[in-house]
Structure formats: C-alpha cells, structure tokens
Structure 1
C-alpha cells in the first residue's frame, strides 16, 4: 500500500491543475464566508424577538462554493488518466486494482481535507473579526466564534469531513463514468440541483423527506449550532447521508474498475 500511496501522491501533486484547485478550495471558501458575514447585520433583523442567526453556520457558508473545486479535483484525479490513456501504464505498474483505488481515494480525500481545513479556519477567523462590527456581540447574545466551543468545533471538523466525502463521491463518479465533463455535471447536479428541486415540492412531508436525503442539504447540517431541533436531519446523521452517497459511488467505481478493461 505504501508504494501505491507514494505513486498516487506523486501523480496528483505533479498535475498542473492540482495546486490551483486546492488553492481555489481555500480561497473560495474564505472569500464567500467573509462576504456572507459582511452582508448580515443585526440592524437588518425584522423579527420581533431580534436576530436568531447561526453565526457559525454563516461563517462557514463558503464551503458550499468551495466544494465545486473539490468536485473537479476528485473527478480529474481519475478521469484524467482515462482521458490521456495513462491508466494503462498505472494498472501495468500497480496491478492490484483495489489497492490502487484505495490509495487514490486516500490521497485525493486527504488533499481536499487539507485545503478544506485551511478554508474552514480562515472562514471562522474572518467571521470572528467581521461579525462583531455588524452587531453580533456578546451583549446581543452572540459570543465570539471559538473552536473551544463544542458545537463550533463539531461544525468546523464536520465541514472538513464534508469536503473529504465530496472528493470521494467525485472520484467514485469519475471511475464509473470515465469522462470528466459527464462526471462533473452529474456530481454538481446532484449537489446543487437537488436542493432547487426540493424547493419546488409543495407537500410538506415530501419536502422534509427530500431535504433529509439531498446530499448537500443533509451533509451541511453538520454546520448548524443553533436550533438543531428544527433541522430536517441532525448534524451527524446528515453527514452520514453524504457518506452513504460517497460509499455507494466508491463501491460502484471499485467494482467497475476491477471488472472493465482499461
């Protein structure tokens, strides 16, 4: 396994797109989170009881866009080899396909989580600096964002795990489809179109059910730190839903990688 891990890491880090995509994960996450924090103010609240903003979730809102770069990274890690034909060389050098696939999954998800961790920490720091100036102060019932707070730490760590699972979902889809454009379209559609379709459902039972099983909506429940009882699904069960999607994609990809010719 060590040889496969070293080979996959060497391939991934030498791709010209890898550095740009990992940088995009961190930069997009921080930028969108900072803009979201700057756009919200207690002065804009219209509720008689005042604001009920989940400042931690708000501070992590950039993960929803940063994941797009993770999707592209996960897809290109596999489909790029099929597109160039280097998959034949890879399989000739490392004929144990299951071990090869596991090593690729570990390297891709690990890289995504490393970049995601930088983005998450930067986002929380930006929110901690910006939000007090918009009225989200301890006096208003909003203590400073801190990783020493259990729910905040869970939201931060869960967001990093979320991005790792998105990378695995994308890798699995790329292995099944073998085409970069098709795999990126399918995964992004699954993530971004599913919530839009959910909003068009008028039946409240089906609406709640679809929110519980939409991969992005369910997975990002891990970021919530307030009013957890109002969520369609709990933070950890929601992340479990995304893990099930990623696991199914990896299982299908692994089976087809072993069964098909290069």
Structure 2
C-alpha cells in the first residue's frame, strides 16, 4: 500500500501552486518615470538622426545672429534725434534676427513630427509606446530642449555681436547707452524671453503638425500664422485695429518680450505678450493631442 508523504498537492515540476500563480501573473508595468526616460531617449534618438536636424539647429543660430548683426551694424549715432539720446531700443535691435531664426525653428518642429507620418514610422512608435499622450509629451519635451539650446546660443551670439557693433556705431555712454550686458535686468529679460519665445514657436509648430499630419500643409499653416498678423497690422490704417492685431498675434505679441525702451507705451507688456504666445502654443498642442488620440495613424 502506498503511503502519502504529507507534502500536499504539487504541480508538474514540484512547484507549489501559489508560486506557479505568481509566475504566471502578468508582469508589472514599468514605473512611469522609467517609461518617460525611455520615451525621451527614443524621441531624442529620432530627432538627432534626422538628416535635417543639425543643419536647422545651425541655421537657427546663424540666421538669428547674422540678421541681428546686419541690423545693429546699419545704425549709428548720426541718426540720433539729439546728442544725448538716440531713442533706439538697442537690445531689441540686436535680437531682430529672431524674426528670421524662428522660421528654422518652425521647420525643425514640423519635420520632427511630420517625418514619422510621411514614412509610416508613426505606427511603430505608437506600437512601442502605446500611451499616445506620452509620445506627444516626450517629443514636445525633446523639441523644447533642442530649441532652447539652439536659442540660447543664438541669443548669446546676437548680444555679443550687437555689443561690439553698437559700440563701433557710437552707442556709448556719451549718447546715454551702456554696453549691452546680460547683467542688466531688461537685457537679461529680453534675452531669456527670446529663448522662451523660440521654444513656444517650436511647440506651436509641433501642435499644428500633429493636427494636420502633412509637411507642406503644416509648414504653410505655421508660417502663415507666424507672419500674417504682423503683415495685417502694417497694412491697416486704423491705430486701434493695429494695436489689437499686435496684442493677439502670436509673433507680434510674443516679440514684446524683447522691448526694453518705452515699455509702458507698447501695445502689450513683455510677459503678457509672451503669455499670449503661450496660449497659442497650448491651443495648438491641445488640438494636435485631440487628433492624435482620436484618429488612427
């Protein structure tokens, strides 16, 4: 007669049932911080391996600094209204290249998003990273970081070149001008605000591209949005309408952050203007996120 061992029921390989149940249980999801790091790394890899990325980053710096240099180099104290003051906002003059540099920022953001739709790799991305909002957040964060780095280099170069050229043009203490310096509060605000401005332009452009999903259409929409308000404001003859357009346009309002002279008489304050641009960027991202969540890739 067989006598039981008293060890209780066992499964195939002698593993207790409880342990078997634990091993068969689905694995735990990767913690959110770890998943975000993985997503950020994936988006950075995609951005840096795009052939156009590094050319566009160089273009942001070169165009911004070069146009700023041409602008500051074209003015001198011979154009001053009085011997004591010229009335020029030399900080804003040195950062004039932002108007051109933002085009390279917009193209960078559009290509970073639309490239995946054009090649079909967006399907692979959404399979590897099922959380669509996480995909959007990771790409937006990487774009913002890359733009901030390029924008910082562009602004520093613009201020350095502007300082040199303005002194050569006679903008010295004799005419009421201190040399451009980031130690000066208004100058630092304009410089920092310009970097934020470029970051917001990148986010606005990315949001519109998620909405439209087409390279040509997105570029047309973004560039139209960036430049149509300033053009309209320059065409209208009514001062009130001109002021309103400058207050609500993403670029005309956002550029107010560069103003350091007669700030009180400007159509909109520096930080309020940047806030208007931030609302435009948030709105475009919200629309893009809605389409990303509701439509198939």
TM-score range, shorter chain: over 0.9
From 160, 164, 169, the equivalent of 2:195 is 160
Task: State the match for 2:165 in structure 1.
Answer: 130
Relative to structure 1, is the Cα distance of residues 198 and 8 closer, same or farther in structure 2, using a 3 angstrom cutoff?
Answer: same
TM-score, scaled to structure 1 = 0.98
Deviation at 1:50, TM superposition (A): 4.7
Q: Determine which structure has more spread, i.e. the larger CA radius of gyration.
A: 2
Task: State the match for 2:100 in structure 1.
Answer: 65
Task: State the match for 2:124 in structure 1.
Answer: 89
- Whether contact under 8 Å (2:65, 2:158) holds in the other structure is yes
Is 1:120 matched up with 2:170?
A: no
Greater alpha carbon shift after TM alignment, 70-79 vs 40-49 = 40-49
- Whether contact under 8 Å (2:95, 2:258) holds in the other structure is yes
Residue by residue, what CA displacement relative to the aligned partner does 1:182-231 show, whole Å, maximum 9, x if unpaired?
Answer: 11111111111211111222222221111101111100100011110111
Deviation at 1:45, TM superposition (A): 3.3
From 215, 223, 235, the equivalent of 1:180 is 215
Equivalent position SS for 1:261: coil
Is 1:228 matched up with 2:289?
A: no
| Stretches of structure 1 lacking an aligned partner (at least 5 in a row) | none
Q: Distance in 2 between matches of 1:184 and 1:211?
A: 22
Deviation at 1:47, TM superposition (A): 6.3
Task: State the match for 1:146 in structure 2.
Answer: 181
Q: Give the count of matched residue pairs.
A: 262
Q: CA RMSD in A?
A: 1.1
Residue by residue, what CA displacement relative to the aligned partner does 1:81-112 show, whole Å, maximum 9, x if unpaired?
Answer: 00111101111110100011000000011101
Higher relative contact order (CA 8 A, sep 6+): 1
| Stretches of structure 2 lacking an aligned partner (at least 5 in a row) | 1-35
Residue by residue, what CA displacement relative to the aligned partner does 1:135-154 show, whole Å, maximum 9, x if unpaired?
Answer: 10011100011111111110
Alignment of 1:1-262 (within 5 A): 1-46=36-81, 50-262=85-297
Equivalent position SS for 2:178: coil
Larger relative helix fraction = 1
Equivalent position SS for 1:232: coil
Post-superposition, which runs of at least 4 consecutive aligned residues in structure 1 deviate over 4 A? 46-50
Q: Distance in 1 between matches of 2:82 and 2:221?
A: 39
- Whether contact under 8 Å (2:84, 2:176) holds in the other structure is no
